[in-house]
Amino acid sequence: MTVTGQIRKKEFLSLKLPEAFITKYTRLLGDSAPAFFASFDEPVYSGFRLNPLREQPTDLPLTDPVPYTHWGYYGKVSGRSLPHQSGAVYSQEPSAMFVGEVAQPQPGERVLDLCASPGGKSTHLSSFLQNQGLLVSNEIMPKRAKVLAENLERFGVANALILNETPEKIAKTFPVFFDKVLVDAPCSGEGMFRKDPDAMSYWTPEYPQACADRQHDILREAVKVLKPGGELIYSTCTFAPEEDEQMIAWLLATYPEFEVVPITKTAGIVDGKPEWADGNPALAGTARLFPHLMKGEGHFVAKLRCREAIGTAKKFKGQRPNLSVEQRDLLAKFAKTTLTQTFDHKQLLTFGDQLYLMPIDTPDLGKLKVVRPGLHLGTFKKNRFEPSYALALALPADAVQTEIPITMADWRQVVHGDTITVTGLSINKGWARLTCEHQPVAFGKVVGQTIKNFFPKGLRFKAYEDEQ
Ligand SMILES: C[S@@+](CC[C@H](N)C(=O)[O-])C[C@H]1O[C@@H](n2cnc3c(N)ncnc32)[C@H](O)[C@@H]1O
């Protein structure tokens, strides 16, 4: 784990930048161009965010907070460590944390993250929502949508509807519906060249405009889902004006219903550049994160308010619950022996033998491609209910009757998929949540002194002692 979060590179990246890129930004940046290019040879900053719904891990380097964030720190946490596995932290590039901070939804709001995988922004939005309201987290690529679901589950997000849809379908399903919409757009990724030099191999002088064309298409749909007074947050990780200020200039010219909400800037974050678009002074209210001016990679963020709806709202039709009487009984039996709470039947939905807790305000799911219709509670097996890993990570501390604290050595065995033996248990049969250093790990089934391992097969890994 590095305390500063700086990862030193061995190569001089500035020497590898495409010539047309150097020419373009020399022209655009003028006097500050040398400092901008020099920053490509500086170390990359890494960071992580604490999960406010979890107890704070004791052994993390919390010495260097990311100044504009609620929960962000510079530093690197291993993907095979307890804080990562238990969802006590989410690793995220420090500049990317600014996007969620600008969006800052209120608990209870309806929020859409339209381009969401792998879930950095969605987990951040969920921290603000405190599991209240609805987070629709959408990803168009099926494989990436699966990763998104895994990351949201690990973070204990209990109010997300996870979809694998096109922006067009989202707009048709949710007209005039959301309080906040985040479009963290697929972009030319120039701001990530330093972190991921391979991204340079895709870059051509025409690439930003090709990305901008796709961003226009996405935004044409995104504007339709906002309620009057709702906010659109648009972000990229590129320096390209075509995808940044020019995109917002186009949006303002095309949709007079929208206005820029100026973003407050600190810690080296600077105003957007109206002169890189049509000169509209409102564009200074957008934000640019340049690596030569702050501790993070390149980003652009804009916030726009929707004064008037584009299109008309549909009459809201909620998704109907569908639990059978037999399934209700099995769930009630499980809850009585294992939990200190029950679930509202109006929110329960089964997909085959899988049970989910739908967030409040879940609309009729119709023909949508649904990855998770809410929090996965578990699986109905013959005459019993088996709780899920997602439930183990989402339930608050006092919601489970029996918690079994395990040692770090036991934790390494559990995440590896091994059975563990524990003495002095308070129960000798049934479900218990395993915890390690006060963090949730998984459900286990106690049989005498043995705990049968239910850590999901596809997520098992080998953890090493020095990675904690
Ligand atoms: C910048 S990434 C999102 C990162 C994510 N918000 C996070 O913080 O972890 C952009 C995402 O947009 C998706 N995407 C690509 N083409 C798209 C399209 N035409 N419409 C919507 N999303 C698209 C990509 O698959 C990618 O996951």
Instruction: Identify the residues whose C-beta falls under 6 Å from ligand 1.
Output: 115-121, 139-141, 144, 167, 184, 186, 214, 218
Quote the pLDDT of residue 59.
84
Active site residues: 237
Q: How far is the CA of 348 from the centre of ligand 1 (A)?
A: 29
CATH homologous superfamily, domain 3-306: Vaccinia Virus protein VP39 (3.40.50.150)
Q: Is 168 annotated as a binding residue?
A: no
**What's the per-residue H, E or C state across 217-259?**
HHHHHHHHHEEEEEEEEEEECCCCCCCCHHHHHHHHHHCCCEE
Q: What is the pLDDT of residues 289-314, one digit of tens each?
A: 999 999 999 999 999 999 999 989 98
Provide the residue type at 52 as one letter: P
- d(CA 37, CA 240) in angstroms, rounded, equals 15
ipTM of model = 0.99
Angle at 94 between CA 204 and CA 279, to 5 degrees: 55
Measured on CA atoms in the order 69, 70, 75, 80, is the torsion positive or negative? negative
Atom of ligand 1 nearest to the CA of 184: 6
- Calculate the alpha carbon distances from 451 to 109, 167, 418, 436 in Å: 40, 45, 9, 14
Q: What is the pLDDT of residues 138-176, one digit of tens each?
A: 999 999 999 999 999 999 999 999 999 999 999 999 999
Q: Whose CA is nearest to atom 13 of ligand 1?
A: 115
Around Cβ 43, how many Cβ atoms within 10 Å?
A: 14
Half-sphere exposure of 101 (CA within 13 A, CB side): 19
Q: What is the pLDDT of residues 173-200, one digit of tens each?
A: 999 999 999 999 999 999 999 988 888 9
Q: Hey, where are the domains in the chain?
A: 3-306, 315-397, 402-468
Q: How far is the CA of 445 from the centre of ligand 1 (A)?
A: 38
Fold assignment, 402-468: 2.30.130
Q: Whose CA is nearest to atom 2 of ligand 1?
A: 186
Would you call 13 helix, strand, or coil by DSSP?
A: helix
Q: What is the pLDDT of residues 49-98, one digit of tens each?
A: 999 999 999 888 899 999 999 999 999 999 999 999 999 999 999 999 99
